[in-house]
Amino acid sequence: MKSFFSLSALLLLFLNSAGAQYATVNFDYEKARFGENQPLPSETPIVFTGPITADIDIVEIRIYSPKGKEKRDPLTLADWKRPKDKSGATNFNVLVNYKLRASKKYDIEVTYFRPISEKERQALTDRLSQTIDTYIDSQTESGGKSISFESSSKKMLNEMNELAASILSSYRRRSDIPIPTFSELVKMKIEQVESVKFEKAEEAGASQASAAKMQQRAQLIEELRELTSMEVKAMSGTNLLIFADSRYVEDYQTEDKAGYFSLNAGYGGVYLGGNLENLEYGTSPYLGLSFPLSTSTIAPRFLRNASITMGVFTNNFEGQGGKEISGPLVGRPFYLGLDYKLFQFVRFNAGATVLEEPEMTAVGVESNSNRIFIQPFIGLSAKINLFLSLDR
């Protein structure tokens, strides 16, 4: 009993370790290829690794559908960040949990980022500030009884964040905290600008009203500029990295997936006739083959777990009156159906069985001719997979 539990524990350990496996692929920067130009592993997590210089602190891996960089977002994005305790690291390791499909092509982008210099940080701050100031000027209108903007406060905040994001797209933060965006305080300040009224100023006279309006306008816009300037400095703050280099590999092939079929052995029952009160059925072991609906590990669960199955029952059945029920061609009942995985080693089978029995004469005697008919069956089976690989 003790040895049984030890064996069970070892089996569980093996299954757990097998589920945690991943493939390691080395990226050759100079040649822009992976490994020795082998196809990428398919349907398994991949760790991309490669050499880096001492100034590279972030490496990003983006995977696109073929010719997809200019058309759509990446299928997946993963990165490596230099740990603080590994300042001397000479290789990156990017874990990509996205499973690539077998026998497909992908575009892959490898991007490198380095720490930003103080001069580059100041240039970034100036560019962000000038862009936002220009945007505010373009949106400002003065007239009527209020100072207003061409767009709503919510739309302006979104557009300002879009402008900032386009400039910051070449920058990353060392920490996992994203680069901040313009806050709700900016939105509130825009709403405050729009809410200012000038009825009293207009009552004092046209010239005084105009001067007061211009002065108030300048003050409110300046407050908005100061607020956005503070938030721009937060965007370009510490721990910022800048784009250093990138390699783009087009139409890279993944490996083929080996096909397989399975040997099935099970036990099932075939409905022969009757009703619930007088059910007629036959049971027998059976042997057969099954062919999976999909061999892909990333296909829908039903397709992964289901197979088309066919085979023969090892025994003939006994019908009403003791007559023997066999099958055509092979002299045994044979079946065609679907099997589905219930547990790791147990499959549920259901389908149709082709049967053959002697026809009866009018006086109840077996004739020389046989009747072929089809009846449903169900069963449970276990299977052994046999893998196939065809050389090109």
Q: Is 391 exposed, middle or buried (0-12, 13-18, 19+ CB in 10 A)?
A: exposed
User: Among all chains, which residue has been given the structure tokens 């210089």?
Assistant: 53
Predicted pLDDT at 147: 53
Q: Is 345 helix (H, G, I), strand (E, B) or coil?
A: coil
Boundaries of CATH 2.60.40 in the chain? 11-115
Boundaries of CATH 2.40.160 in the chain? 259-387
Predicted pLDDT at 127: 96
Encoded amino acid at 159, one letter: E
Number of other residues whose CB lies within 10 A of the CB of residue 201: 17
Domain 11-115 belongs to what architecture?
Sandwich (2.60)
Residues 6+ apart with CB under 8 A from 347: 264, 266, 290, 307, 339, 340, 341, 380, 381, 382, 383
Predicted pLDDT at 1: 42
Strands 46-51 and 23-28, sheet pairing:
parallel
CATH, domain range 259-387: 2.40.160
What is the sign, positive or negative, of the torsion defined by CA atoms of 290, 293, 295, 299? negative
Predicted pLDDT at 9: 43
Per-residue pLDDT of the chain (392 residues; tens, 9 = 90+): 444 334 344 444 443 444 457 899 999 999 999 998 899 999 899 999 999 999 999 999 999 988 766 667 899 999 999 988 767 789 999 999 999 998 899 999 999 999 999 999 999 999 999 999 999 888 876 554 455 566 788 899 999 999 999 999 999 998 888 899 999 999 998 888 777 665 544 454 555 655 666 677 678 888 999 999 999 999 998 789 999 999 999 999 999 877 778 899 999 999 988 887 788 889 999 999 999 988 777 778 888 889 999 999 999 998 877 788 999 988 899 999 999 999 878 899 999 999 998 876 655 666 677 889 999 999 999 988 776 654 54
Rg of the Cα atoms in the chain: 36
Q: Is 137 helix (H, G, I), strand (E, B) or coil?
A: helix
